[in-house]
């Protein structure tokens, strides 16, 4: 009987920025069992690769091969033969100088099914991010993509005479090392030495850089600017548009790289807002939340409160609300009517705006939200608002806010402390070493912390690093207090909201630029 064969998807990941990944690429990646990825894959994308897929770097950078092409082909075949869904993730488009063809040959030979998912090629996208349209009716009617790294056996020798004759936009990939020779050859073939030319480094990724020059000076100017691979070289009059059409650098958080440490599920809002403003965001979830097993939750009293008693269902996070209404109550076979049954007077309290919004989703208006979003203020607000004989049900995380309980105790307000979910620190990010290196080199602008537990998770994951170097943006005083223990460089958002954190980052960025 034939072994069940897997399948291989040859997927283009685009030039770096996660937003340039196609919808199809995302779908395929999410379903992968095994992912073999290149050195050119953007860090934003690496950090979103599914946790349960096996991930192998077959990194290739000009000249340095960590895994040979033959070995890569072999790996794809072996994993597919095991019956796995294999994703071969390549920079840009897999068929544009990606040796994608070679990787398919062995699969064809063995009859392994495969699909190709085209990607956004750097040849077009990198110029676009530098304000250079590869064609423009006033300047050129065609563009050509050329390797700057021809084969040693001369099989793909470049016909410079033909290139110059076409009077087109020329885009060279893999050309940083041979830039001098390329420019020389163009001029020898009759190109005007003053023809505009550009070299575009790390396009679409944070700290992308461009050098705009002319064919005779590009190599010198590029060396002066210490341009390194990966970079795209563009030759042609369209390069003069680069100033006029520059847009990338103009966004409020352009050129920043920011780490988001909240749990993956909750990260999306912060991440989306930061990316919208131009930042590159690495999602490194440092915590997870899980509902606490029902046997450990004692809620019976809640359903048995006497008529007329004022009950405060109190939540200190959106996760708490979601867990209570989507997990805790349903798994007890109950809903809110069970609480109201005996005629209790039910009120809702939330620590902040996001928690109140979550309550709204379930159809409940919130009666109390403190001015300042933290546990102590919520406690004070409850004390001010609740009747003396009311009872507060704290439906929150294990090790929930002590300050909140202190306030209630001090005012002698009755409460039940009911942990319905748990926050677990994670210590297993596959990207921890990469991130440590980057922080040490000062390449991460901010690490955002949205709770003390994210700080604890980060510290455990990044064990052994010098935390003094961590630029920490904290959501509030309590989070900052945790970060201070490790002597991080701390800033605090004005309010304990995601929007306020984003505002703070914009402020800090604007200051940095002055």
* Longest CA–CA separation in the chain, Å: 95
Q: Name residues whose C-beta falls within 8 Å of residue 207's C-beta, 6 or more positions apart in sequence.
A: 255, 257, 443
Structure tokens at 287: 């915590």
Q: Using alpha carbons, select from 217, 178, 182 the residue that is nearest to residue 196.
A: 217
Kindly tell me which of 280 and 377 has the beta carbon lying closer to ligand SAH. 280
Closest approach, Cβ 115 to ligand SAH, in A, equals 17
Count of C-beta atoms within a 10 Å radius of residue 91: 25
Q: Look up tokens 């009950």; give the residue.
A: 311
Q: Using alpha carbons, select from 2, 15, 181, 179 the residue that is nearest to residue 94.
A: 15
Q: Is 489 a catalytic residue?
A: no
Triad 393, 397, 403: Cα angle to 5°: 70
Closest approach, Cβ 174 to ligand SAH, in A, equals 4
Q: Name residues whose C-beta falls within 8 Å of residue 6's C-beta, 6 or more positions apart in sequence.
A: 33, 79, 80, 81, 82, 83, 84, 85, 86, 112
Kindly tell me which of 53 and 146 has the beta carbon lying closer to ligand SAH. 146
Kindly tell me which of 147 and 460 has the beta carbon lying closer to ligand SAH. 147
Q: Using alpha carbons, select from 386, 373, 384 the residue that is nearest to residue 315.
A: 373
Closest approach, Cβ 41 to ligand SAH, in A, equals 9
Query: What 3-state class would DSSP assign to 318?
Result: helix
Q: Name residues whose C-beta falls within 8 Å of residue 495's C-beta, 6 or more positions apart in sequence.
A: 372, 373
| CB-side neighbour CA atoms (13 Å) of 451 | 24
- Cα first-last separation, the chain: 70
Residue count (the chain): 514
Closest approach, Cβ 474 to ligand SAH, in A, equals 32
Q: Using alpha carbons, select from 204, 213, 216, 137 the residue that is nearest to residue 169.
A: 137
Closest approach, Cβ 44 to ligand SAH, in A, equals 12
Kindly tell me which of 67 and 336 has the beta carbon lying closer to ligand SAH. 67
Kindly tell me which of 121 and 454 has the beta carbon lying closer to ligand SAH. 121
Kindly tell me which of 49 and 200 has the beta carbon lying closer to ligand SAH. 200
Query: What 3-state class would DSSP assign to 72?
Result: helix
For the CA atoms of 163, 166, 170, 173, the dihedral, rounded to the nearest 10 degrees, stands at -40
Kindly tell me which of 201 and 407 has the beta carbon lying closer to ligand SAH. 201
Cα gap 20→115, rounded to integer Å? 19
Tell me which residue has its CB nearest to ligand SAH: 92
Closest approach, Cβ 184 to ligand SAH, in A, equals 19
H or E segment to which residue 452 belongs: helix 452-461
Structure tokens at 211: 């050098």
Classify strands 345-350 and 310-315 as parallel, antiparallel or unpaired.
parallel
Kindly tell me which of 95 and 467 has the beta carbon lying closer to ligand SAH. 95
Closest approach, Cβ 208 to ligand SAH, in A, equals 7
Contact residues toward ligand SAH (CB under 6 A) are 15-16, 40, 62, 90-93, 96-98, 121-123, 126, 173-174, 200, 202-205, 229-232
CB–CB of 419/297 below 8 Å?
Answer: yes
Kindly tell me which of 246 and 297 has the beta carbon lying closer to ligand SAH. 246
Kindly tell me which of 16 and 370 has the beta carbon lying closer to ligand SAH. 16
Active-site choice (60, 90, 210, 266) = 60
Active-site choice (38, 266, 380, 436) = 38
Q: Is 60 a catalytic residue?
A: yes
Classify strands 196-201 and 231-235 as parallel, antiparallel or unpaired.
antiparallel
Cα gap 365→349, rounded to integer Å? 9
Cα gap 352→381, rounded to integer Å? 12
Alpha carbon distances (Å) from 482 to 293, 295, 349, 456, 488: 28, 32, 26, 8, 9
Closest approach, Cβ 148 to ligand SAH, in A, equals 7
Give the residue numbers annotated as catalytic, written as ranges. Answer: 38, 60
């Amino acid at each position: 009987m034939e072994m069940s064969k897997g399948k291989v998807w040859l997927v283009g990941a685009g030039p770096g920025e996660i937003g340039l990944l196609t919808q199809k690429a995302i779908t395929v990646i999410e379903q992968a069992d095994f992912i073999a990825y290149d050195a050119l894959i953007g860090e934003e994308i690496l950090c979103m690769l599914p946790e349960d897929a096996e991930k192998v770097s077959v990194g290739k950078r000009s000249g340095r091969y960590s895994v040979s092409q033959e070995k890569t082909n072999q790996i794809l075949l072996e994993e597919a033969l095991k019956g796995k869904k294999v994703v071969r993730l390549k920079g840009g488009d897999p068929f544009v100088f990606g040796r994608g063809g070679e990787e398919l040959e062995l699969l064809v030979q063995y009859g392994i099914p495969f699909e190709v998912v085209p990607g956004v090629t750097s040849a077009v996208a990198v110029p676009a991010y530098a304000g250079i349209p590869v064609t423009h009716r006033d300047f050129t009617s065609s563009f050509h993509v050329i390797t700057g790294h021809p084969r040693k056996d001369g099989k793909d020798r470049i016909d410079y005479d033909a290139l110059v004759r076409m009077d087109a936009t020329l885009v060279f990939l893999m050309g940083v090392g041979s830039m001098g020779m390329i420019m020389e050859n163009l001029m020898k073939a009759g190109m005007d030495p003053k023809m505009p030319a550009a070299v575009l480094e790390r396009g679409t990724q944070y700290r992308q850089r461009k050098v705009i020059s002319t064919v005779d000076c590009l190599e010198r100017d590029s060396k002066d600017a210490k341009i390194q691979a990966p970079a795209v070289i563009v030759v042609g009059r369209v390069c003069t548009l680069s100033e006029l059409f520059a847009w990338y650098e103009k966004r409020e958080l352009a050129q920043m790289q920011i780490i988001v440490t909240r749990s993956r599920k909750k990260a999306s809002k912060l991440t989306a807002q930061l990316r919208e403003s131009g930042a590159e965001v690495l999602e490194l979830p440092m915590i997870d939340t899980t509902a606490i097993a029902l046997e450990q939750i004692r809620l019976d009293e809640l359903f048995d409160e006497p008529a007329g008693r004022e009950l405060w269902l109190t939540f200190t996070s959106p996760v708490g609300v979601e867990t209570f209404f989507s997990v805790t109550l349903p798994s007890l076979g109950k809903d809110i009517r069970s609480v109201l049954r005996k005629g209790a007077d039910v009120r809702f309290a939330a620590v902040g705006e996001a928690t109140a919004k979550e309550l709204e989703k379930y159809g409940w208006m919130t009666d109390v939200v403190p001015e300042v979003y933290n546990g102590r203020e919520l406690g004070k607000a409850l004390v001010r608002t609740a009747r003396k004989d009311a009872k507060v049900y704290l439906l929150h995380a294990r090790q929930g806010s002590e300050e909140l309980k202190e306030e209630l105790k001090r005012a002698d307000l009755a409460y039940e402390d009911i942990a319905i979910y748990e926050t677990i620190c994670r210590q297993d990010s596959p990207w921890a070493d990469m991130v440590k290196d980057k922080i040490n080199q000062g390449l991460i602008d901010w690490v955002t912390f949205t709770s003390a537990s994210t700080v604890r998770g980060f510290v455990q994951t990044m064990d052994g690093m010098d935390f003094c170097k961590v630029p920490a943006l904290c959501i509030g005083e309590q989070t900052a207090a945790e970060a201070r223990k490790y002597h991080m460089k701390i800033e605090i958002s004005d309010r304990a909201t995601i929007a306020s954190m984003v505002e703070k980052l914009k402020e800090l960025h604007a200051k940095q630029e002055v």
